[in-house]
Amino acid sequence: MPISSSTSLSTFAAGSVWRRVCAGLLLAIPLVAPAASLPDATRDEVIERARELTRSHTLMVAIDGETVIDEGFRGHSTDATANIKSLSKTLISALVGAAIDRGIIASADQPVVELLGDRVPSDIDPRVNRITVGNLLSMQAGLERTSGANYGAWVASNDWVRDALERPFVAEPGGRMLYSTGNSHLLSAALTEATGRTTLALARDWLGDPLGIAIPPWTRDPQGIYFGGNEMGLTPRALLRFGELYRQRGRLDGREILSSAWIETSWQPRTRSFFNGNDYAYGWFVTELAGEPVYYGWGYGGQLLYVVPSRAMTVVMTSDPTPPSHGSRYLDDVEALVVELIEATSTNHADSGTQTHDTPQS
């Protein structure tokens, strides 16, 4: 169940120890090639059920690097750019990991003020100095949210970074989860300040080029910083490539793009979501479906990326990004499809003793 504002985090911390152990054990399992097979009847049923979802635009599924479902609905296609909304936060997390891998950011424990430099107001609450990169990734900064009812005023402000940092504290840094796009935007600003390059340039250099995917420009704030955690545009095929990168622990097509250490770190539960009770890590939600650990990114309206390592499976769903959104109800509908895919492949998941790196192209 979600942690309330009055609940001690010690309960969550104790309960998450086993989940962290399981995540570590899962990542320690050697990569082997299962018998990548999805029964035709299941494939057809999943596609039809996805088509019946009123918001669905596309569905893609890869098993062991082989694309087994590639479908568009209502005139949409998997090679057309989609607004992935808050699924962008999962991409920002990857960029932070790439910066840590390169020594640009010392670690997730580095205070973000050290990276933001002159963008930090001089009269800021001293507690801002305690907010780490990791706190921002896990939505535990403690600052009043810029999302929800506060979103409109925040994006209408003339300085999004200053506005996010000057918000009052409603929890301590490292405390309860307060989902806020302002946190992700502070990370985009930190990446820009630390490298002297735009977040777009970093995304193309560190992710786009090595993955062979296009990353088009997206929204910027009044100071020209690319929106951290919202409004990015990617094709579903590009999302599938990105998901495959994580499934294969940072390597794709024989090349290391992110360290396996960062994959493990970014998938470790840190807190728990108020939205649906799932654990939340560094830009990834963590849950269990059909008895299997599942990691997913989630954007408004139903922009979803699932990675199921035990089934060598990656699932992408894009949906109508316009209001109103059905939130967790729609998420439940999509997860029912993922459960069906997991269950259908359980008898086909056999150790063949070989490794595969054939992955879907975009």
Domains and CATH numbers, the chain: 32-84+234-362 (3.40.710.10), 85-231 (3.40.710.10)
Q: Read off the pLDDT of residues 252-264 as tens digits, 9 standing for 90 and up.
A: 999 999 999 999 9
Alpha carbon 162 to chain centroid, angstroms? 25
- Counted residue by residue, the chain has a size of 362
CA 258 to CA 102: how far, in whole Å? 10
End-to-end Cα spacing for the chain: 38
Q: Read off the pLDDT of residues 230-260 as tens digits, 9 standing for 90 and up.
A: 999 999 999 999 999 999 999 999 999 999 9
Q: Can you say whether the dihedral through the CA atoms of 278, 281, 285, 290 is positive or negative?
A: negative
Q: Read off the pLDDT of residues 293-348 as tens digits, 9 standing for 90 and up.
A: 999 999 999 999 999 999 999 999 999 999 988 778 999 999 999 999 999 998 65
CB atoms < 10 A from the CB of 265, how many?
19
CA 35 to CA 32: how far, in whole Å? 10
| pTM, to two decimals | 0.88
Residues sharing a CB contact under 8 Å with residue 198, sequence separation 6 or more, in sequence order = 192, 224, 225, 226
Tell me 358's DSSP state: -
Q: Can you say whether the dihedral through the CA atoms of 154, 188, 62, 308 is positive or negative?
A: negative
CA 277 to CA 256: how far, in whole Å? 33
Q: Read off the pLDDT of residues 152-175 as tens digits, 9 standing for 90 and up.
A: 999 999 999 999 999 999 999 999
Structure tokens at 114: 């050290």
Tell me 119's DSSP state: G
CA 236 to CA 230: how far, in whole Å? 16
Instruction: Tell me the pLDDT band of 24, cut-offs 50, 70 and 90.
Output: low
